[in-house]
Amino acid sequence: MKQWVRNNFSLTEWLVGGSVTTLAVLAWAFGTGSSGTLSLLKIFPVFGLVAFGLMWSHYTVGTLRRWSGYERRGKDTYWAVSAGLILALIILHPVLLNISLIEAGLGLPTSSYFAAYGNVDGWFVVLGTIALLVFLSFELHRWFRNRQWWKWVEYAQIIAMVAIFIHGTKLGNETTYSWYMVVWWGLAVTLLFAWVYNWRYDKAHLPRR
Amino acid sequence: MERRNSKTIWIIATVVVAALLGVIAYAVTMNRTKTDDTALKAQDNSNQQEINKPDTTENTKAVTISFTDQGFAAKSYTVKVGDEVKVENNSSMQLQFSSDDHPTHTEETELNLKVLAAGESVSFIATKVGTWGFHDHLHSQYTGELMVTE
């Protein structure tokens, strides 16, 4: 198994990312996407589901790379494509929601979140917005990844992933009321495992920053 | 080499973003046409419920939409224009019967009813022809549709 992953690492990456994306799209297509007329408010959840799945794949593929002992040579097309897609999706997810809330006359965020979702769930939308800002800060890695303090930005990504999981669990229908709930919690458990594995591996193999 | 890779990444990302923006532009246009008349009527429609009180002297039919702890009793209901629609909360929770989409409720504001406590019911008259999605705003996983015919 380990050798197969090492010999077919690129295929493994696409299989992991493709599977998690397909499951998210299917859950949406048979859930929110299947009822009534398609609109922005029905479309935007699938962007969040796919984005979370692809971000999950970045961590788990990293674990598979460490575990299999695969050493990368040349460019990583999967990382390039999925990173671009994640960036587009995490921007589009709130943009579509906000367009709909403005069109409905509920005003601008964050007051529109509370007007639409109520005083309790509105906070979970705000939590998602904070996580989005943390995810966007990762794009600064092109310039700052060699700085000593950059590790704190990476730790913040982990906290943001937890925040997004809570945001999705509280607000998403697919994540709570369909067969996808099993996948959703499966993603959380494997993500936790991946973080611990990656942290222990890097501590043992990488020089201290 | 690294510069070339970076260029590839940006090209891919640009294509993806452009494609998704195209989808949004299309969807926004679609949405705007549909909600042209109702875009600024997202607030609770309880005043209209008073105006649209069922007229029992007319020869109208009535359909009951029952809400239980498992959701709406049926996925789809059909009525004719002028028929009475009665929404009964037979669950143990509160019900806020609302028009799609969640959470703006702008598809057909006639369907936006006041919050019903367990055991309460409310009626309204269907006046607009179309197929209108509805859900419980407080538990948006529970959905259904109302078909209003001529």
Q: Are A84 and B12 in contact (CB under 8 A)?
A: yes
Q: Does the pLDDT value for residue A106 go beyond 90?
A: yes
- What is the tens place of the pLDDT at every residue in A196-205? 999 999 999 8
Structural domains counted in chain A: 1
Q: Does the pLDDT value for residue B46 go beyond 50?
A: no
The predicted pLDDT at position B40 comes to 36
Strand arrangement of the beta sheet that strand B71-72 belongs to:
B71-72, B62-68, B84-89, B121-125
The predicted pLDDT at position A33 comes to 83
**Average pLDDT over every residue of B60-71:** 92
Q: Are B61 and B79 in contact (CB under 8 A)?
A: yes
The predicted pLDDT at position A72 comes to 80
Q: For residues A187 and A54, what is the distance between their CA atoms, to the nearest angstrom?
A: 11
Contact (CB<8Å) A104/B140: no
Q: What is the ipTM of this complex?
A: 0.78
Q: Are B64 and B54 in contact (CB under 8 A)?
A: no
The predicted pLDDT at position B127 comes to 94
Touching check for B47 and chain A: CB below 8 Å? no
Contact (CB<8Å) A173/B28: no
Which token pair is A48? 């969040």
- What domains are defined for chain B? 46-149 (2.60.40.420)
The predicted pLDDT at position A1 comes to 86
Q: Does the pLDDT value for residue B24 go beyond 70?
A: no
Minimal CA–CA distance to A152: which of A163, A137, A164? A137
- What is the tens place of the pLDDT at every residue in B91-137? 999 999 999 999 999 999 999 999 999 999 999 999 999 999 999 99
- B-chain CB neighbours of A95 within 8 Å are 24
Which token pair is B103? 């959470």
- A70: CB partners within 8 A, 6+ apart: A5, A6, A9, A64
Question: Pairing relation of β-strands B62-68 and B84-89?
Answer: parallel
Q: Does the pLDDT value for residue A166 go beyond 80?
A: yes
Q: Residue A90 maps to which CATH number?
A: 1.20.120
* Long-range pairs of A132-138 with CB within 8 A, sequence gap ≥ 24: A132/A90, A132/A91, A132/A94, A134/A159, A134/A160, A134/A163, A135/A55, A135/A86, A135/A90, A135/A160, A136/A90
For every residue of B69-96, which 3-state class applies, written as one string? CCEECCCEEEEECCCEEEEEECCCCCEC
Q: Are B63 and B85 in contact (CB under 8 A)?
A: yes
| Distance (Å) of CA A153 to CA A134, A147, A160 | 8, 11, 10
**Average pLDDT over every residue of A95-116:** 95
Q: Does the pLDDT value for residue A27 go beyond 90?
A: yes
Domain of residue A22, residue span: 2-205
Please name the member of A84, A87, A173 whose beta carbon is closest to the beta carbon of B141: A173
Q: Does the pLDDT value for residue B12 go beyond 70?
A: no
Q: Does the pLDDT value for residue B23 go beyond 70?
A: no
Please name the member of B20, B31, B145 whose beta carbon is closest to the beta carbon of A103: B31
Please name the member of A41, A88, A103 whose beta carbon is closest to the beta carbon of B17: A88
**Average pLDDT over every residue of A147-153:** 92
The predicted pLDDT at position B121 comes to 97
Residues 48-87 on A with a CB inside 8 Å of B are 75, 80-81, 83-85, 87
Q: Does the pLDDT value for residue B52 go beyond 70?
A: no
Q: Does the pLDDT value for residue B41 go beyond 50?
A: no
Which of B16, B17, B101, B107 is the best residue to mutate to test the A interface, defined by the most A CB atoms within 10 Å of its own CB? B101
The predicted pLDDT at position B129 comes to 96
Mean pLDDT of chain B: 79
Q: Does the pLDDT value for residue A16 go beyond 60?
A: yes
Q: The pTM is what?
A: 0.81
Touching check for A101 and chain B: CB below 8 Å? yes
B25 pLDDT tier (thresholds 50, 70, 90): low
Which of A103, A112, A136, A176 is the best residue to mutate to test the B interface, defined by the most B CB atoms within 10 Å of its own CB? A103
Q: For residues B135 and B141, what is the distance between their CA atoms, to the nearest angstrom?
A: 7
- The pLDDT > 90 percentage for chain A reads 83
**Average pLDDT over every residue of A48-73:** 94
Q: Are A99 and A40 in contact (CB under 8 A)?
A: yes
Contact (CB<8Å) B40/A105: yes
Q: For residues B73 and A152, what is the distance between their CA atoms, to the nearest angstrom?
A: 51
Which token pair is B137? 């705003």
The predicted pLDDT at position B144 comes to 93
> How many Cβ pairs closer than 8 A exist between chain A and B?
95
